[in-house]
Chain A
Amino acid sequence: MRQLSIALLLALAPSAAFADGEMPQMDFSNPLTLDQVFWMAVIVVVLYLLLSRWGLPQMGKVLENRAAVIARDLAAARAAKQEADRAVALLTATLASARANAQAEVAKAVADAKAEATAKAATLNAALDAKLAEAEVRINAARNAAMAAIKPVAAEAAGSMLVKLTGSAPAHDELIRRVDDALAMRKAA
């Protein structure tokens, strides 16, 4: 309200000072003062029609088009980024699975090799065990043979020693039995 009263005062003060017709703006006796308003109305209406029907919608279209292009480009960029992200994820997954496959392969190879080595060692051990057993059998046979062979020699030697000591030959069966006992005792000892 105060602004308004000041504005009114400002408006009225110069108009009072120039009311004698010195101020062309206040000279309403001049027909041109109001006729300019008529022509202004014509000019402004034509300007309004030109701007509202042609200029402003066209310019609005240009701005809309730009906004649409920017939005489209942004959407494309976003889609490209998503695509890239997907590719990266795929790559990561592929790498991970490849690594896992490779590790499984390596583990399998190691296990296979181990199993093969174990099997080979087992067959080798079996063969060695068989040879060992065979050798033991042979050794036992040889020992038995040697034991069997030593008996008549021992009996003969004991017989000869008895003959030399006593001068009489012992009974053959008795001698054999005694030698057997002696050998058995040694074996037991």
Chain B
Amino acid sequence: MAAPTIDALGQFSLTTGLGPIGRAVNFTNSNEAMLAAAVIIVALFAFGLKARALVPGRVQALVEVLYEFVHNMCVDTIGEEGKRFFPLVFTIFSFILLGNLIGLFPYFFAFTSHIAVTLALALFVFLFSTAVGFYVHGFGFLKFFVPAGVPVWLLPLLVPIEIISYLSRPVSLSVRLFANMTAGHVMWEVFAGFMLILTAGFGVFGAVASIIPLGLNVALAALELLVALLQAYVFAILTCLYLHDAVHMH
């Protein structure tokens, strides 16, 4: 029997899902997780809207809490105009949140650990907020790159910095989510693989000693749950912030 090795990155490798149909259209295992996330969100709404009770049940209360949380985030961050972007922010937030949470379960693919996925989402947010900025202010939106109240001779330095800072938004937005999710899952895999190596190398003693990485993984599970919630929130609040900049220019 070959000695176990740690394959920390294998969990991120893409295959095709949904059987032969998926193979025909390159529907990947990460898309399966996305589909699951979307189905769960829609199912939550379907069950939450069943009773439409004055005093909500559990599922309805959950959906209401999500609704009001994102709604308040939009209105507080963007202002009254935030209501128009609320469905978009809610879709992004719930999609990333469910993606992060699904990824925490064994055998489920964490699609937010793929830079292509997070970068696509971040680029969409970036392009959309920029489009909103030009839609609301016309070419006056370019004044966004000229900081107010600085000496004129500093502008040749500051304007490029502002532009670079603006252009790097999708990078930081996507890398933050991707790196957090990847790091957590790699650490999980490393500690779990370490348990196998200990047991294979030191027999019963190794099996007993592997309780340490197991404990670490348990602690890591709590941390990863926090990270999953937090990163979805961070992505959504930054989306709101960028939209605020586009609408209000400061």
Contact = CB atoms under 8 A, between A and B. Distances in A.
Interface of A: 1, 3-4, 7-8, 10-11, 14, 18, 22-26, 28, 30-41, 43-44, 46-48, 50-52, 54-56, 58-60, 62-63, 65-66, 69
B127 interface: no
B9 A24 contact: yes
B64 interface: yes
B159 to A, nearest CB: 14
25 contacts: A7-B172, A8-B168, A11-B171, A11-B179, A14-B182, A25-B116, A25-B182, A28-B116, A30-B14, A32-B14, A32-B16, A33-B116, A35-B27, A36-B31, A37-B120, A39-B27, A39-B31, A44-B34, A47-B91, A51-B94, A56-B86, A56-B87, A58-B52, A59-B45, A62-B49
Contacts, number: 141
B15 to A, nearest CB: 7
A94 to B, nearest CB: 40
Contacts of A56: 67, 86-87, 90
A40 B90 contact: no
Which 10 pairs of residues, A with B, have the shortest CB-CB distance? A52-B87, A55-B45, A35-B26, A32-B14, A11-B175, A39-B31, A24-B13, A24-B12, A47-B38, A48-B91
Interface residues of B, number: 53
Contacts of B161: 1
